[in-house]
Amino acid sequence: MRLIFTSILSVATWDLCSAVQINYVKVPGAVKNDSGSPAVLDCNYSVRPDDTELVVKWLLNDEVVYQWIPPQKPQSLGLLKNRVDLSYKASDDPKSVYRAMKIWNPTTDIAGEYKCFVSTFADEDFSIKNMIVFEPEKSFVILKEEGNHYSVNFTCYANEVYPAPKLILYKDRAHEFYNKNPLQALEWNTSRHPNGRFSVFVIANALVESLAPGSLIHCELRIPGTGYVKKRSLLYYPTGSDSGSACRGCNLTVTLLLMLILPALRL
Ligand SMILES: *[C@@H]1O[C@H](CO)[C@@H](O)[C@H](O)[C@H]1NC(C)=O
Ligand SMILES: *[C@@H]1O[C@H](CO)[C@@H](O)[C@H](O)[C@H]1NC(C)=O
Ligand SMILES: *[C@@H]1O[C@H](CO)[C@@H](O)[C@H](O)[C@H]1NC(C)=O
Ligand SMILES: *[C@@H]1O[C@H](CO)[C@@H](O)[C@H](O)[C@H]1NC(C)=O
Ligand SMILES: *[C@@H]1O[C@H](CO)[C@@H](O)[C@H](O)[C@H]1NC(C)=O
């Protein structure tokens, strides 16, 4: 009871003293690298009508990259110099016209923690949001390797992705497509290229007897924190079985072709 009372009291006191308050900061959580589309980072705040010496700053990983001190024009600095549309207006209110940053073409070097910092003579406030800039993969494949009649390896590769992606191999049958059955990974690795991108692979092994002919094997690629998801699938038929004889010695090209042709033949 006393705790509740104290916290109500402190909120009330804080409200009385605060002259600057950030209502919200809007930063895109994830954008594609070098996409050519701008990203708008907005900072909505309230200041008291009688407050003076308003300064609005944006910091990227603790370095000032944008500054607006009305009635001067806004300027971009450091990593964002020449990369911001300085004529972009977020509002008609003279106290917040240039509060937002419209970045022309975000690239991976300007990903990170964005802090909006607003101050006046009497008070200040800040708020922070992260922006991830990702680079989609250059290639993404799933392959099957059969060493013997008992077991089969499925390998999934994704090349040159940023930041580091996650891969999962799983199987399902056409009529059970709501169930994801992860395959046990045998081996995996992530390597980093000099350009900063990551290449990853995962190998999973399954017993031939555990795979019904016609099973679908999928590989899912995710870039954490971005909502970016891709899938590659392979229709499994054991090599040497009747249904698989057309696929003897098949490689990825043939498998993918089969995936395209088989559904059409069923009609
Ligand atoms: C992002 O794009 C820029 C411009 O094309 C490029 O120089 C940079 O290497 C890319 N970043 C990654 C991690 O690939
Ligand atoms: C800023 O936020 C306030 C309060 O949430 C809202 O009333 C106002 O419309 C917002 N202003 C703009 C320009 O989005
Ligand atoms: C399956 O992968 C494991 C681990 O990389 C490897 O030792 C084994 O030789 C592979 N088997 C086949 C049939 O490729
Ligand atoms: C795993 O990646 C590291 C570098 O990240 C590399 O040195 C190593 O050779 C890789 N291992 C395999 C089995 O590819
Ligand atoms: C797959 O088979 C085709 C045709 O037989 C061949 O041209 C291609 O090089 C093979 N690809 C791989 C990765 O072995």
Residue spans per domain, the chain: 20-134, 139-265
Alpha carbons 135 and 197: distance in angstroms, whole number: 8
- Indicate the CATH number of 139-265 among 3.60.150.10, 1.10.1060.10, 3.40.50.1820, 2.60.40.10: 2.60.40.10
User: 246-256: per-residue pLDDT in tens?
Assistant: 444 455 555 55
Which ligand is located closest to the Cα atom of residue 150?
A: 3
In terms of pLDDT, which residue wins out, 257 or 205?
205
What pLDDT is recorded for position 109? 96
Residue with tokens 């996650």: 166
Determine whether the shortest distance from the Cβ of 162 to ligand 1 is under 6 A: yes
CATH top-level class of 20-134: mainly beta
The angle at the Cα of 221, spanning 220 to 226, to the nearest 5 degrees, equals 130
Determine whether the shortest distance from the Cβ of 137 to ligand 1 is under 6 A: no
CB atoms within 10 A of CB 59: 19
- Measured in Å, residue 254 CA sits from the centre of ligand 5 at 8
Is 234 a residue whose pLDDT tops 80? yes
Which ligand is located closest to the Cα atom of residue 154?
A: 3
The angle at the Cα of 212, spanning 203 to 204, to the nearest 5 degrees, equals 5
Out of 11-25, 127-141, 225-239, least confident range: 11-25
- Measured in Å, residue 129 CA sits from the centre of ligand 2 at 18
**Which residue CA neighbors atom 6 of ligand 4 most closely?**
191
Ligand 4 — pocket residues by CB below 6 A?
189, 191
Which of ligand 3's atoms lies nearest the C-alpha of 205? 1
User: 197-226: per-residue pLDDT in tens?
Assistant: 999 999 999 998 888 888 889 999 999 999
Q: With DSSP H G I counted as helix, E B as strand and the rest as coil, what are the percentages for the chain, rounded to 5?
A: 15, 45, 35
Residue with tokens 């899938």: 231
- Assess whether the region 20-134 and the region 139-265 belong to the same CATH fold: yes
The share of the chain scoring above pLDDT 70, in percent, equals 80
Q: Kindly report the average pLDDT of the chain as a whole number.
A: 86
Which ligand is located closest to the Cα atom of residue 203?
A: 3
Q: What ranges make up the beta strands (E) of 18-138?
A: 20-26, 30-32, 39-47, 55-60, 63-68, 75-76, 101-103, 112-119, 124-134
User: 31-41: per-residue pLDDT in tens?
Assistant: 999 999 999 99
Distances from the Cα of 26 to the Cα of 95, 106, 132, 159, 183, angstroms: 18, 16, 14, 32, 39
**Which residue CA neighbors atom 7 of ligand 4 most closely?**
191
**Which residue CA neighbors atom 3 of ligand 4 most closely?**
191
Determine whether the shortest distance from the Cβ of 249 to ligand 5 is under 6 A: no
